[in-house]
Amino acid sequence: MPTLGYVQRLYDFLRRHPTGVDVFWAFVLLGISGIGVVAVAESDGRDPALASIPVVVGLCLVVALRRRAVERMLVLAAAIGVIQMIFDVEPGPANFAMLVIIYTTAADGAPWASRFALVGGLAAAPLSQARWPEGSTGVWGNILFMVFMVVPFALAWVLGDSIRTRRAYFAQLEERANRLEKEREAQAKVAVAAERARIARELHDVVAHNVSVMVVQADGAAYVLDAAPDQAKQALATISGTGRQALAEMRRLLGVLRTGEPEESGEYVPQPDVEQLDELIEQVRGAGLPVDFKVEGTPRPLPSGVELTAYRIVQEALTNTRKHGGENAGASVRLVYFDDGLGLLVEDDGKGAPHELYEDGGADGSGHGLIGMRERVGMVGGTLDAGPRPGGGFRISALLPLKPAH
């Protein structure tokens, strides 16, 4: 296949240098026209007309520069045609340049130039036939020959105009594709921003709840400090542990922007945690989706952000199963406590989610579920894997670290 490689490189080179290609064909046309002029002169027994030389050179120049100055070359070709009629320079091979410039103008020229090329092309054959009639064919023969000569000019213009229309169509398709791509990227960014804002709001509520607990414990410790030192000591230990947890959550909260959201008022309440997964799964079962729920390892208290993230992942995964799993679908939820992390595995045996649910950011068209999962897992420093199962259905697995942020 090396030959195909050479041909492809040659083709690419020619496409990068269109003017060079035109100049080459202009020299070919010049050579053919020169031979034709000499042959006609020898057959007639006279010297070549001096006017034919600039006519031939000018038409070859039209071919050479047809793509660099379309409108100017069209005007030059028209002027050369007038000169031919005035100085009685009969058409020859060089006049093929008129077909070329009509095609080029229809394909790439300005609208006025395209119309001028069409009118000029249709008038060229009648004018030529009137200036140099065929004496041996008679009137009807001249008319038939004139009609026959009009056809190439009309076809050249039609071909060029069809090329222009095709280019405009493909340019419109490309512009539309680019616009849709930009809109998709913008929607994905908006979805990410909305999910981050919602996550930030929830984590903010968690931290506020922890601070509220610290205030209550501090008030209680101050009240029993003299009467019950042991209770005061226990309250202070609780304050210390809760404060460290709140600091860890605040560090995870940094970097999440909350812009353009109205301030919320009211009492802060704790967000869902792992202990409420039993209630969530019972609600899902009551809605008609069978769920097998198992906990492995030794359950223990977790950072509030990790518990909230685990709850939301299971909630969103089961919601996606109900949306996309189809009838008779079932799901399983595994919660695994490791020494330094919390593992989550949610699987279903349904027909599987649409491709766009786990591709290009995971936008599902309404809740942007996987976008939210990825943002939540990323905020606690975990990892998430989502995609179709080999045997059918869908799988979501996540690993959430339990080490606090420092």
Which run of H or E residues covers position 400? strand 394-401
- Order of strands, sheet of 291-296, starting from the edge strand that comes earlier in the sequence: 291-296, 331-337, 341-348, 394-401, 383-388
> Stretch 316-322: mean pLDDT, rounded?
84
Q: If we measure between CA atoms, which residue out of 121, 111, 103 comes closest to residue 163?
A: 103
Q: Which of 12-16, 103-107, 116-120, 255-259 has the lowest mean pLDDT?
A: 255-259
Percent of the chain past pLDDT 70, that is, above it, reads: 76
Mean pLDDT rounded to a whole number for the chain: 79
- Same-domain pairing of 379 and 300: yes
One domain, residues 10 and 57? yes
205: domain CATH number? Answer: 1.20.5
The count of domains in the chain is 3
**Residues 220 and 319 both lie in one domain:** no
Q: What is the pLDDT of residue 63?
A: 94
Structural contact between residues 60 and 22, judged by C-beta atoms closer than 8 angstroms = no
Given 218, 253, 288, which residue is the final one in a domain? 253
What's the pLDDT score for residue 264? 44
State whether 72 and 119 are in the same domain. yes
Helices (H), 259-368: 277-286, 304-324, 355-358
Helices and strands (DSSP H and E) totals, the chain: 12, 5
In a domain, 261, yes or no: no
pLDDT of the residue at 130:
83
Residue 127 sits in the same domain as residue 7: yes
Residues 128 and 6 in one domain: yes
One domain, residues 235 and 293: no
Domain-located, residue 112? yes
Give the whole-angstrom CA distance, residue 242 versus residue 217: 10
Instruction: Decide which of 93, 110, 132 is a domain's last residue.
Output: 132
pLDDT digits (tens, 9 = 90+) for 184-213: 888 888 877 777 777 666 666 666 556 666
In three-state secondary structure terms, 65 is: coil
> Which of 253, 283, 308 delimits the end of a domain?
253
Q: Which residue has the higher pLDDT, 322 or 163?
A: 163
Structure tokens at 344: 């989550």
DSSP-derived secondary structure letter, 353: -
In a domain, 370, yes or no: yes
**pLDDT exceeds 90 at position 300:** no
**pLDDT tens figures, 363-372:** 443 345 677 7
- We report the CATH number of the domain holding residue 282 as 3.30.565.10
User: CA 202, CA 208: separation in Å to the nearest integer?
Assistant: 10
Read off the pLDDT band of 50 (50, 70, 90): low
67-77 pLDDT tens trace: 999 999 999 99
Partners of residue 291 on adjacent β-strands: 331
**Helices 277-286, 304-324: crossing angle, 10 deg rounding:** 10
Do 235 and 301 fall within a single domain?
no
What is the rounded distance in angstroms from the CA atom of residue 163 to the CA atom of residue 161? 5
**Considering the chain, what percentage of its residues have pLDDT values greater than 90?**
31
- Does position 66 have pLDDT exceeding 90, yes or no? yes
- Determine, yes or no, domain membership for 158: no
* Max Cα–Cα distance, the chain, nearest Å: 138
- Let me know whether 297 and 225 are in one domain: no
> How does residue 247 score in pLDDT terms, banded at 50, 70 and 90?
low
**Is it the case that residue 145 has pLDDT exceeding 70?**
yes
First and final C-alpha spacing in the chain: 60
How high is the pLDDT of residue 2?
A: 60
Q: Residue 15 corresponds to which tokens in the numbers above?
A: 């496409």
CA atoms within 13 A on the CB side of 91: 19
334 and 238 share one domain: no
Residue 289 sits in the same domain as residue 232? no
Does pLDDT of 54 surpass 50?
yes
How high is the pLDDT of residue 259?
A: 46
Is residue 150, in this structure, part of any structural domain at all? no
For the cut 70, the answer to whether the pLDDT of residue 127 exceeds it is yes
The residue range of the domain holding 53 is 2-132
* Mean pLDDT across 382-397: 88
Scored b (16 or more CB within 10 A) or e, 271-299 reads: bbbbeebeebbeebeeeebebebeeeeee
In a domain, 358, yes or no: yes
Structure tokens at 44: 């007639």
Whether 89 and 58 share a structural domain? yes
Q: Residue 145 domain-assigned?
A: no
Mean pLDDT on 132-142: 73
Examine residue 161 and state whether it is found in any structural domain, yes or no: no
Whole-model pTM over 0.75: no
In this prediction, residues 123-135 reach a mean pLDDT of: 83
